[in-house]
Every structure is written in C-alpha cells, then in structure tokens.
Amino acid sequence: MEVIGIFILVISFVTLLAIGVPIAWSIGISSLITILISIDSLPAFTTIAQRMGTSLDSFTLLAIPFFVLAGQLMNRGGIAKRLINFAKNMMGSLPGGLAYVNVVAAMLFGAVAGSAMAAATAVGSILGPRMVDEGYDREFGAAVNITSSTTGLLIPPSNVLIIYSLASGGASIAALFLAGYIPGILTGLLLMAVAAIWAKKKGYPTGERVSLRALGASFIKAIPSLLLLIIVIGGIIAGIFTATEASAVAVLYTLILGFIYKELNIQELPSVFLEAVKTTAIVLLLIATSIAMSWVMSFENIPQSVSATLLGLSDNPIIILLMINFILLFVGTFMDMTPAVLIFTPIFLPIVQDMGIDPVHFGIIMILNLCIGLCTPPVGSVLFVGASVAKTTIEKLVWPLLPLFLAMIVALILVTLFPQLSLWLPGLFGF
Amino acid sequence: MRKSINKAVAYILVILMVTMLICVLWQVFTRYIMGEASTVTEELARFLMIWIGLLGGAYVAGANMHVAINLLPSRLDGCKKQILQTIINLTIIAFVFVVLIIGGSQLVHITYNLGQTSAALNIPLAYVYLVLPISGLLVCYYKISDLLTDSNNSESGLTKSHEVTE
C-alpha cells in the first residue's frame, strides 16, 4: 500500500514539475491524487482545503511576513546601503577586497534581514556594478554574491529556521537561531577563502585603504542598523520577545529609521507593503500545500517506510546522516527550500532523533544543505535573482560557481560531522 | 477588467497586511504595558495571515510569479509552447476548482452549519475559511483569462511569453 502511495506521489509530482506547473500547485495536485487512492473524492477535496487553510493558522509563522517586510524596508530605507558601506570600509583594502566586502555585507545583511533573496538583491545591485568597474569578472562577482547571500539563512533571524522549528514540532527558535551563527560564519569564511585564491590568481585590484576615521564614521552610521540585531536576536534569546513579536518590532524599527534617514516616504509605503505581500504569499502558498502533502504522506504511512528502508541500509548515525545529506542535496536542486523543509523534516527527523542526533543540529544541517540547492539550476531561486541582478546568464555562472559550491560542501561536511559547531553556542546560553 | 480586479485585490492585501502588523504590535504593547497580551489581536493576526496567504497566493498566480521549473517551457516555441501553457493552466484550474472552490465551499458550509466559532473573537470560522473559495474563484478567473488571451494571441500569430519570475 505505502509503495503504491509513494510511487503515485513521486511520479505525479515530478511530472507536474517537469512540465512547468508552479511548485506550490504541483505539491497540492500530487497530494490530492495520492489521497484519492484511500478516500472518496468529496472528503478528499474538503480535507485538502482544510489542511491548506489551517496550516497557516499559526502565530509562529506570522514572523515570516514581518521579516520579509522588514527586509524590504531595509533595502529601500537606506539600511542596506549603510551596512554595505561599513563592510566596504572594513574589507575593501585587501586584494580582491570587493569579494570579501560582498561576503561580509551578505552576512551582516543576513543578520538583520534573514532572507537570501533580499541579500542577493541588495548587495548584488550595489556592489555588482562596482566590481565590474574595478575589473572583476562579472560572473565571478555574481557567483560570490549568490553563494554568500545564503549565509543569511543560517545567521539569524532566519525565516527558514522558523519554518524548521514548526516542522520539527517545536525545536526552540532561540536555540536554532543561536545554533546558526557559527555554521553561517564558517560558510562565509570558506567562501572568502575561495574568493581569495581566485582573486590572487586573477590579480584583482586592491581597493584604496580608507582612513581609520572614515571606517569609524561608517561604523557609527551602521550602528542604528546593527542595533536591530541586538533588539531582535537579543530580545528572542533573552526571552523578552517571541520571534513573531520581534519581527513586528523589527518592522516598526526599520520604518522609523527609514523616515529618520529620509529615504522612505509615505507615498511609496503601499508599494513596499505590496511587494512584501507578494513575496510572503509565494512562501505561504508553498507552506499551505506542503503541509497538506506532509499530512497525506503520514496518512499513507510513507515516513515509516522511508525510515525502514534507510535503517535497513545502515545503523551508523554518520552513514545515515550522510545518506540523508545526499538525498537532500538532490531534493534541494528540484525543490524550493520551504517545501523541502516542511515535507522532509517529518520524514527524516524521527530517524535521526532515534539515533541520538539533536533536532537543532539536524535543522542546521538541513538548512545548510538546502542552501546549496538555492544556488543550483533548475530551481535555485537565489541563483536566478543573483544572475538577473548581475545582468548575466545562468550558463555563464556555472564555472565560477563550482569552487564556491565546493566550499559550501566542505562547510556542510564539517557541520554534519561536528555537532559542537551548531550546539556549542546554544549550550552556552542554556538551551 | 483584470486591471481593476488586480488593483482591488492589491488594495485589500495591503490593508490586511497593515492590520496584521498593527495587531501584533498591539499584542507586544499590551503584554508589556498592560501586563496581559490581548488574545483578540493574536487570533485576528492569525486569521489575517490565512487570508493573506491564500488571497495573496491567488494574486501572485495572476501575476505568474509562483516559482516553477521553466526548463521545458523555455525550450519550446510557438505552437508547442502554447499547448504546454494551456495544459499547465488547465491543470491549475482543475486543482483549484475541486480543492479550493468545491472543497473550500464544503468546508465553509460544514463549519457554518455546525456553528463553530473562534475562541477569542467569537466569529464563525466559516468566515475565515471563506477565503478558500474566494481565492479559488480568483485563480480560476486569472487562468481562464490567460487561456483566452493566449488563444487570441496565437490566432494573430503573437505568442505571449509567460516568463515565470522567481
């Protein structure tokens, strides 16, 4: 029975994806087809509709629209510009410095906004043209921008970590946020190492050294933006705010800052809100159909048979983790991050938990793994955004992306093998 | 027609988003200043998100902005592309029709008859679920109008490109 279910689910899903049906609908349609084997049509329609509606009925998920909105406001309200400027003054005087600037800016922006797409757009559109002016390879710049912007998904606040918390059935958001720092920074450092080697080989120019005074000035200008980090993350970790409350406060704070900087005006606010609604709705519809699929899978006992199969192959936790990583890398290339987290967490988490692996550690592995998928064709959303911001094509990006992928894979292996990279920091704060 | 519907839906979505933001900020305010978080705004914010997710999802479907794998459509041209696009749109219409419109209406009907109301606001849950059939109708409208313009375009020899933007 389960085998037929899995078969129908996978075949219908892959077919729909391949012919170009949007992912959110493909997930919904294949779930519907699968559940129709077991229950009558009218109850099936109603149940899927109900799952889609109730899946969004969650106070935790409310953080997503607000963090998206805060990210948009930061882009328009001058916060992104100030952070990038600060990163430039810090790192720009090194050989190939603009590449480091890009990575650091992406990490800083990720640390305040928590969206890879927003980071790729903001940092890429400001730094990309400058890199080309200074003689950098357009494609290399774009590749660095694309890969480094994914660090923002690990460095908190991060919407996908919130989604993982939901999918895992209650892993603490504060613990996940803390756990993301070291793996996120580690990935950034490895990407910088690749950029350094590349820049040296190509003889990229050294930017002019800025005076300590200018560095200090740009730091002071960045302080209000960096303060957001303390309010949001500090607030969540200290237990003052829930993630949702913190996200709403972040919106309020960025709004006020944007008006103080005089970069926002009332007239353009509705369009900023509408942009945020659109980005949010894309994610929310994916969540709605993914949760419906997850329910169909558990109804058909699919997680149990996957678990039995995996455990039949090995009972060594490291081997199991590597196998899961392998599957996720494959899944990540075809599936967006949100549905992948919502659909595969309920399948894999019970297996690894039985083997004594911490759900927080597993979450970080999963997100880092799926970050790689965001930069690969055919569905890498960050890849597409990064390529269009840099005005280049995906085909041309394949070669410069390769060494950077390798760096991300190394980061993934390290994070998988050494749980302390993820768990040390939350442990320090008593999680 | 489509333009004015788009404008109206966008207007509603922005209002829902602003209201949701105010609800959660009010929630934070009441929890700190008054010492007790308002359960009414918490519930209202959750319901607003259901509306934003589904109505917004329909709006985004109208703008062809849902993420898709565009490998096959981008390799085809002219008539073949048109046929594939028609198949995609028909598939979406079929799903939305049976799940959101039929299933959603059924859900509204059941919860209305059972008289289920929400815990804090005490409003019928049927109103919350009403967004399912409404969004379904909106997606169907968009996709049917896409089908019609596509067939008009192919008659006049023009192919409208459906670039799926990420």
The number of helix segments (H) and strand segments (E) in chain A equals 22, 0
d(C-alpha B105, C-alpha B129), whole Å: 8
Q: Tokens in use for A229? A: 């980090």
Per residue in A54-101, pLDDT (tens digit) is 999 999 999 999 999 998 888 888 888 888 888 888 887 777 788 888
Return the amino acid letter for B132.
L
pLDDT at A401: 93
pLDDT at A114: 65
Per residue in A323-354, pLDDT (tens digit) is 999 999 998 888 888 999 999 999 999 999 98
Per residue in A25-49, pLDDT (tens digit) is 999 999 999 999 989 999 999 999 9
d(C-alpha A102, C-alpha A120), whole Å: 10
Confidence check: pLDDT of B155 > 90: no
Q: Are B81 and B73 in contact (CB under 8 A)?
A: yes
The B residues from 123 to 152 touching A (CB cutoff 8 Å) are: 128-129, 131-132
Q: Are A87 and A101 in contact (CB under 8 A)?
A: yes
Q: Indicate the length of chain B as a whole number.
A: 166
Burial class (CB in 10 A: 0-12, 13-18, 19+), A308: exposed
pLDDT band at A233 (very low <50, low <70, confident <90, very high): confident
pLDDT band at B71 (very low <50, low <70, confident <90, very high): confident
Nearest to B50 by CA among B131, B119, B111, B106: B131
d(C-alpha A260, C-alpha A278), whole Å: 26
pLDDT at B160: 36
pLDDT at A286: 94
Confidence check: pLDDT of A372 > 60: yes
- State whether A381 and B67 contact (CB < 8 Å): yes
Interhelix angle A381-389/A138-149, nearest 10 degrees = 140
Per residue in A177-218, pLDDT (tens digit) is 999 999 999 999 999 999 988 888 888 777 677 788 888 988
Per residue in A238-260, pLDDT (tens digit) is 888 889 999 999 999 999 999 99
Confidence check: pLDDT of A122 > 90: no
Confidence check: pLDDT of B153 > 70: no
Looking up tokens 């064709």 gives: A377
Upper half-sphere CA count for residue B10 (Cβ side, 13 Å): 17
How far, in whole angstroms, is CA A9 from its chain's centroid?
A: 26
d(C-alpha A110, C-alpha A382), whole Å: 13
Backbone angles phi, psi at A158, to 5 degrees: -140, 125
- Residues of chain B found within 8 Å of residue A249, distances taken between Cβ atoms: 25, 28
Nearest to B131 by CA among B43, B12, B18: B12
Total-model pTM:
0.90
Nearest to A283 by CA among A118, A96, A50: A118
Instruction: Give the one of A22, A62, A336 whose C-beta lies nearest to B46's C-beta.
Output: A62
Looking up tokens 């509709």 gives: A49
CA distance A290 to chain B (A): 13
Q: Tokens in use for A147? A: 């890969």
Tell me, letter by letter, the H, E, C secondary structure of A32-52: HHHHCCCCCHHHHHHHHHHHH
CA distance B39 to chain A (A): 11
Distances (CA, A) of B16 to A65, A87, A195, A430, B108: 12, 37, 44, 38, 21
Looking up tokens 């008539």 gives: B79
- Residues of chain B found within 8 Å of residue A42, distances taken between Cβ atoms: 102-103, 106
Q: What percent of chain A is predicted at pLDDT more than 70? A: 99
- State whether A278 and B59 contact (CB < 8 Å): yes
- Residues of chain A found within 8 Å of residue B82, distances taken between Cβ atoms: none
Confidence check: pLDDT of B150 > 80: no
